[in-house]
Amino acid sequence: MTKQVLWTKVVLETFIEEGNLNERQQYLIRTRCAGYSIARQAEELHLSVDQINKNIAELKKIYDATQVNSKILPKRKNNSKEL
């Protein structure tokens, strides 16, 4: 997801606010934008890599649903080349 959206502070904060993210989701999106690996996130949260991947998939669904009604959030791209 970090390669599908050009994350700026405004976009990140808008997504967190409009998406009504919980603390874990906020941590995941902030640390992904900061460049943390999935393995590092899993280690710091004491979760499996699989669970982190499931949480990221859920964040993508939340982003897509939130983006439809937002004037600030850009549409997710299919890959990093489209950015």
Q: Can you tell me the distance from the alpha carbon of 72 to that of 67, in angstroms, rounded to the nearest whole number?
A: 8
Chain segment 28-82, per-residue pLDDT in tens: 999 999 999 999 999 999 999 999 999 999 999 999 999 999 999 999 987 656 5
pLDDT digits (tens, 9 = 90+) for 48-58: 999 999 999 99
Task: Decide if 6 contacts 65 (C-beta within 8 A).
Answer: no
CB 10 within 8 A of CB 73: no
